[in-house]
Amino acid sequence: MAIISIENLSKSYRVYQKQEGLLAAVRGLWHREYRDVHAVRDVSLSVEQGEFVAFLGPNGAGKTTTLKLLSGVIYPSGGSANVLGYVPWKRENEYRRRFALVMGQKNQLWWDLPAQESFRLHEQIYRIPPEIFRHNLDELADLLAVQKLLGRPVRELSLGERMKMELIAALLHSPEVLFLDEPTIGLDVVAQHNIQRFLKYYQERRKITILLTSHYMKDIAALCKRVVVINDGAIQFDGSLSGIVDQFSSTQILRLQLAEGVSAEGLDRFASVESVELPKVTLRCNRQDVTRMLASILKQYEVADIAVEDPPLEEVIARLYEDHSSGGKYEAKTGEPSK
């Protein structure tokens, strides 16, 4: 059964085009020019219970707007959506108690108060029974290792510590659906890893449905099996994490470790040489040529070790974004733009 169901969802804004200069500004008092911005265009999507879905796209693609629509923060221009059996923008109290939204660039905690005071406010807002509130708070604080920080003002916490508190606030009422918008933005590597580990454990244990936006591909690789790519307000890809690499990358990377004393000279006859740091050499070639290339190399060079890898996910996603922006479209299995 689909927990999140979206049909042809759209959101447009009418934006005033302010002209440069004093004369244009005065003229604009009587005659204004507007343009329509289509933040979301006919998006259709279905998410099953317990899925952890990555929602990817460049800045301005419509990711955050979609999450705001599903949270009932804004109204759509067209289409429909159903989350847990509710229409989000009707803003029914029963629905509000069953989902949570965490935005990495927005705070829901009182800046000058200890986080535990904001948690008490959430207890009253969501009408959480005292015993459940205490159990959930203790569990989440232990999992995130912040028990000793609950009494400190939020403004004194580091960025990573504040994000942990934001997650606790979002999960205190045991939501069935969680929308995460850039939860690790600005965090260092250690803090990112801690947040990833917590989300993975909590999602697997509670079986909640999570829709995650992030520009950090390590978040996606660590947490999500399904990827939805949105660009210019429309969905460009919906499938598995491995599928996006297979479909939108035509190359693979060969990492060779040559035997001691073997030169790398001539390897560029077989594939594109990306780096040479003897005895290690990195090559790139078309997927369909990998087997033939390796056979030829092994006949002419003494090789101690070989590894065949897919290109980094960041590279594949970036090429997908760039190709869409340039007006091309990837052909499946080739990765080459078609015009």
pLDDT tens for each residue of 282-304: 999 998 899 999 999 999 999 99
Q: Mean pLDDT across the stretch 121-132?
A: 94
Query: May I ask the CATH architecture of the domain 2-245?
Result: 3-Layer(aba) Sandwich (3.40)
Instruction: Domain 250-309: give its CATH code.
Output: 3.30.70.1150
Give span(s): CATH 3.30.70.1150, the chain: 250-309
**Residue 50 reports pLDDT greater than 60:** yes
Q: CA 113, CA 155: separation in Å to the nearest integer?
A: 8
pLDDT at 334: 34
Tens of pLDDT, residues 200-242: 999 999 999 999 998 888 888 889 989 998 888 888 889 988 8
Give span(s): CATH 3.40.50.300, the chain: 2-245
**Residue 338 reports pLDDT greater than 70:** no
Q: What single letter denotes the amino acid at residue 139?
A: E
**How many of the other CB atoms lie within 10 Å of CB of 259?**
11
Q: Mean pLDDT across the stretch 248-272?
A: 90
Asked if 74 and 129 count as a contact pair (C-beta separation under 8 A), the reply is no
Q: CA 266, CA 136: separation in Å to the nearest integer?
A: 63
Q: Record the pTM.
A: 0.81
What DSSP line would sit under 261-321, residue for residue?
T---TTGGGTSEEEEEETTEEEEEEEGGGHHHHHHHHHHHS-EEEEEEEPPPHHHHHHHHH
Tens of pLDDT, residues 177-193: 999 999 988 888 899 99
The H or E element that residue 38 is part of is strand 34-48
Q: CA 9, CA 234: separation in Å to the nearest integer?
A: 10
